[in-house]
């Protein structure tokens, strides 16, 4: 692998690891605030209501304002479940955006390094289309990094680069369902997840997100455990593995 690409990719992956930690920290603070609010409201003995619009200044009110008012029991339920689940979904969506940006940056570096003759306009078009799938079901970014850039599997790892990037494609399917399908996995989402799972050797298919417990119902169910698991997965299985793969590839697969 070209040493400039290998070193730049490692630096990009390391920086993205810090971005991930910052994203999780923000999410953790929000989840803590929800818990504090629920405990505080549970402890109150007076009759109270919370309005979502009553204190808005007149110039910011809608022409036909709808005042949503919560009483104690419903307010506690919202902080314990609905609002909390929304924050967990937001974490996954933003996590994928952070990882997308990282991998697209690496793909852009690869194009600039290996095909400097490609015009900038064409290069940008290829970057925008790098998540499209080829005839073999792999994304363009996976095919390019492995087949063209020479990204190789780290020694001693059971998973391959293609397997790891397939797992990332799975989480992108989940993100798509959250953003574009109201948090429900469509038949198309489920078919793609099953396709990606079935590309794994049979003994490794348990590691596919197609088998994740939070995807087994009609609706995607995300909570505190899933946020912690996604944070660990993104930092180790995606960023950590790829950082090691680029380090290995820089030295042609030799031990360092």
Closest CA to 20 of 247, 249, 243: 243
Cα 186 to Cα 183: distance, rounded to the nearest angstrom: 9
Q: What is the pLDDT of residue 252?
A: 77
Burial class (CB in 10 A: 0-12, 13-18, 19+), 173: buried
Cα Rg of the chain, angstroms:
22
Q: What is the pLDDT of residue 253?
A: 63
Q: Read off the pLDDT of residues 24-62 as tens digits, 9 standing for 90 and up.
A: 999 999 999 999 999 999 999 998 999 999 999 999 999
Q: What is the pLDDT of residue 201?
A: 94
Query: Mean pLDDT of all residues in the chain?
Result: 94
In this predicted model, which residue has the larger pLDDT, 12 or 136?
12
Cα 248 to Cα 256: distance, rounded to the nearest angstrom: 8
**Is the whole-model pTM more than 0.75?**
yes
Q: Is the pLDDT reported for residue 256 higher than 70?
A: no
Burial class (CB in 10 A: 0-12, 13-18, 19+), 29: exposed
Q: What is the pLDDT of residue 52?
A: 92
Q: Read off the pLDDT of residues 163-220 as tens digits, 9 standing for 90 and up.
A: 999 999 999 999 999 999 999 999 999 999 999 999 999 999 999 999 999 998 889 9
| Three-state secondary-structure class, residue 72 | helix
């Amino acid at each position: 692998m070209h040493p400039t690409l290998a070193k730049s990719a490692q630096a990009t992956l390391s920086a993205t690891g810090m971005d991930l930690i910052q994203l999780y920290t923000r999410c953790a603070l929000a989840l803590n605030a929800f818990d504090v609010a629920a405990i505080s409201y549970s402890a109150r003995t007076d009759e109270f209501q919370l309005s979502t619009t009553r204190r808005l200044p007149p110039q910011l009110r809608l022409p036909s304002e709808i005042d949503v008012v919560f009483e104690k029991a419903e307010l506690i339920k919202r902080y314990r479940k609905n609002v909390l689940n929304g924050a967990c979904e937001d974490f996954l969506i933003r996590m994928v955006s952070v990882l997308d940006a990282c991998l697209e940056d690496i793909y852009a570096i690869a194009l600039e390094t290996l095909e400097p003759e490609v015009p900038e306009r064409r290069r940008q078009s290829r970057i925008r289309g790098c998540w499209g799938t080829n005839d073999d079901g792999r994304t363009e970014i996976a095919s390019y990094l492995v087949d063209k850039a020479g990204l190789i599997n780290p020694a001693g790892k059971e998973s391959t680069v293609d397997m790891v990037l397939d797992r990332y494609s799975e989480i992108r399917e989940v993100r798509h369902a959250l953003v574009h399908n109201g948090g429900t996995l469509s038949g198309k989402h489920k078919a793609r997840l099953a396709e990606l799972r079935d590309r794994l050797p049979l003994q490794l298919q348990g590691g596919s997100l197609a088998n994740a417990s939070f995807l087994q119902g009609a609706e995607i169910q995300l909570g505190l455990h899933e946020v912690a698991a996604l944070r660990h997965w993104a930092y180790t299985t995606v960023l950590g593995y790829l950082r090691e793969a680029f380090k290995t590839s820089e030295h042609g697969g030799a031990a360092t």
